[in-house]
Copies of this chain bind each other. A is one copy, B any other.
Amino acid sequence: MSTIKDVAALAKVSPSTVSRVLANSPRISDETKQRVRQALEQLDYQPNVFARGLVTNTASSIGILIPPQMTEFFANPFFAEMMSGVSEVARSEGFDTVLSTSAVDEEDAVDRMIRGRRVDGLILLGSRIRDAVLPKVAQHQFPSVLLGRPAEDIPISYVNNDNVQAAYEATKHLLDLGHEKIGFLGGSFDLVVTRDRLEGYRHALLEVGIEPNTRMEISTYFLEQGGYQGMMHLLALPTRPTAVLASDDVLAFGAMRAAGELGYHLPDDLAIVGFNDIRLAELANPPLTSVRVHMHELGVGATRLLVEQIRASKMLKRSKIVDFELVIRESCGFHRNHQTSSR
């Protein structure tokens, strides 16, 4: 393993000169650069990231903070697509991507990442009410981007969908189809995304004079199994919903399975709308109407915002709202046209 000294010796210059060539300093003569580069090549030199990091205080890597509860992170195609966007931008900007899964103590994980200087910036997933991580990064003024939006007024950059409006439009679609008993199937009510979608859902109902019924609003865990259980719950109600807005396609799939097992037929007996429009939504039986949120673009946008902050070496408060579209398929009636409503 050759060091900068070895290169220097071979090129008959000092280590500092090699370092300058590495940084492509304009103050080094072309001739010397040539010679050093050749030595670099010959010794197949690779800089030691620790030595470099120790002096520059940068890690050339960004962290993805996966909340402890989010075991579903890896299971959900939503996150996978988002990650592909993150990874794409990170790589092209010269950053590695570090996954931080903090089983137990999330705050501790943040500390390790930030203060241990392991990463230069953080992408935060899934904000919740009274989130402890957000104030922490804000306090440290650590470059960070939230995927979602902060619940409280915390100065942090974020990339989000307009979830209130999206849920509003999706619910409106169900109302337009004549449904009056519409259920809501979401993740934890502590999650901002759940709250926002619930708000949009309620708003649509109220607008046409339907009083939201909390019995119809189910909070469950973000997995197929959660959707299954939630749907069983909804269908057991004295007056069951004829339509359901699921806050995630995977929940919708679970709901469809529950409905199927009990002999309900979609879309005749029951309409279902999902969220995220993962690739398999189209392949479900029947194909699932879903709100497309452009997951890849969310990841790209978040990472761009993050890199910008890292370059400026400070926390910025910026935000970006990514478009959505309601993709209408057979799961809530045979409107064959791929009608979209965007903003």
Contact = CB atoms under 8 A, between A and B. Distances in A.
A119 to B, nearest CB: 9
Contacts of A51: 50, 54
Contacts of A83: 74
A318 interface: no
A49 interface: yes
Contacts of A76: 80
Measured as residues with beta carbon below 8 angstroms from the partner, the interface class of chain A is 35 or more
B53 A50 contact: yes
A53 to B, nearest CB: 4
Given A87-B99, A101-B97, A50 B117 contact: yes
Interface string A67-109: 0000101111101110110011001100011111111000000
A280 interface: yes
B48 A116 contact: yes
A256 interface: yes
A87 B103 CA distance: 10
A327 to B, nearest CB: 16
A12 interface: no
Given A54-B51, A116-B46, A118-B49, A279 B75 contact: yes
B112 A101 contact: no
Given A80-B75, A99-B87, A54 B50 contact: yes
A23 B325 CA distance: 54
Nearest to A296: B74
A232 B297 CA distance: 30
A1 interface: yes
A61 B76 CA distance: 24
Contacts of A98: 61, 96-99
A103 to B, nearest CB: 6
A340 interface: no
Nearest to A112: B46
Given A1-B115, A91-B101, A96-B100, 9 more contacts: A44-B115, A46-B112, A48-B54, A48-B116, A49-B50, A50-B50, A66-B87, A73-B84, A284-B284
Interface of A: 1, 44, 46-51, 53-54, 59, 61, 66, 71, 73-77, 79-81, 83-84, 87-88, 91-92, 96-103, 111-112, 115-118, 224, 253, 256-257, 279-280, 282-285
